[in-house]
Amino acid sequence: MLIRTAIAALLLAASGLIASAQTQALPETPPPGMAFATFATGCFWCTESDFDKVKGVVSTTSGYTNGTLKNPSYQQVSAGGTGHAEAVRVVYDPKIVSYERLLHVFWRTHDPLTANAQFCDRGSQYRPAVFTHDEEQKRSAEASKAALQKSGVLKGQIATAIEIAGTFYAAEDYHQDYYQKNPIRYRYYRSACGRDARVKEVWGAEAGGS
C-alpha cells in the first residue's frame, strides 16, 4: 500500500469520516477579478502547500479532474481507472501574480521527467499536468514547456502533459489544507515519499520555483 493511502486510511479510521462521502463539482467561472489555474504535481496535499506560498494566490482546493466518473471519491481515484488526476484548483489575482509565474513555480515543484507517477505515488491518477482554462493559458503552457525543453536545464524529455481543463471535483474535506491540519503526518509523508529530494535532484538550485 502506498504511504499516503495508508496515512489517509488511518486518518479516516481515527476521525470516523465516511470514505464514500460524495464530492462536488466546483464552479467553472472564477470570482470577479480573479482567475483559475489548475495543476497536478502528484499528491495534491503537496501541490496545495507549494502554491499557497505564492503571493497573489487567493485560495487552493485539492480535487480530481479530467476523468470519466461523476463525483468520484478518493478511494475510486486512488485505485485508478477513473481517468482523473489528483490536482489543485488555484484561484489567483492576475493583478498580483501572472499565469506565467504560476507556470514557473509549477515546473520547479515536481518531476517533469516522469509520466503517470510522481515520487512514491504511481498511476495515471498521479500524472503531472497543466489543465488549461482557455486558449491563452494553453499557449502559455505550451510555450513554457517548449522553452524549458530547449533550455537544456532538464536532463531528459519532458513528460508533463498539457490538457484542457474538465470538470473539477473538490476532494473530501479531510484532504483540504491537509498540510496545515496534520503537519506531522504531512511532513512524514513528504519526506518518506522522497519528493523534495527528487525535485532537488532534477532542478538543482532552481528547485521550488524561487
Taking the C-alpha atoms of residue 189 and residue 199, their distance in angstroms, rounded to an integer, is 15
Residue 52's identity, in one-letter code, is D
User: What are the backbone angles phi and psi of residue 125, rounded to the nearest 5°?
Assistant: -65, -15
- For the annotated catalytic residues, the residue numbers are 43
Sign of the four-CA dihedral 170, 189, 184, 37: negative
Cα separation, 192 vs 51, in Å, equals 21
Can you say whether the dihedral through the CA atoms of 16, 17, 20, 21 is positive or negative? positive
Beta-carbon neighbour count of residue 192 at 10 Å? Answer: 13
